[in-house]
Amino acid sequence: MSQYVLLYRSTNEQSRAAMGTPEQAEKSMAKWRAWIGDMKGRKQLTDVGMPLDRTGMVIAGAQKLVTDGPYTETKEVVGGFSIIEAWDLAQAVKIASGCPILEGGGSVEVRPVMPLDV
């Protein structure tokens, strides 16, 4: 088994639509809890991860230029992450395809985690 990180991306508008009213927020969170619970039950979830605030700063280059972030030139922002285990990238993509963020137009980036010996 290998580990994969799932990066959850959406626009500010998509995020507001999913969490706009208390009823919408509860409905959205219920879907997330069910999906995460399913991955836990299948022993696919290594780390549920954390949601990320939609603000931040970016430090870039040798000059250490600081700009508003995460990435002002893009519309989608990484809103959180999880780490899963899967046999291969195809299985990781299949697991990620159940993510509730997709229903609201968001996306899930699936990336293999490289082993690191330090």
In order of start, what are the domains of the chain with their CATH numbers? 2-112 (3.30.70.1060)
Q: CA 82 to CA 39: how far, in whole Å?
A: 11
What's the CA angle centered on 56, arms 50 and 58, to 5 degrees? 115
**Residue 83 near residue 111 (C-beta atoms within 8 A):** no
Confidence band, pLDDT 50/70/90 cuts, at residue 77: confident
How confident is the model over 31-50, as pLDDT tens digits?
999 999 999 999 999 999 99
Confidence band, pLDDT 50/70/90 cuts, at residue 74: low
Percent of the chain past pLDDT 70, that is, above it, reads 96
Q: What three-state secondary structure class fits 16?
A: helix
pLDDT greater than 70 at residue 13? yes
Distance of CA 109 to the CA centre of its chain: 7
Q: What is the pTM of this model?
A: 0.87
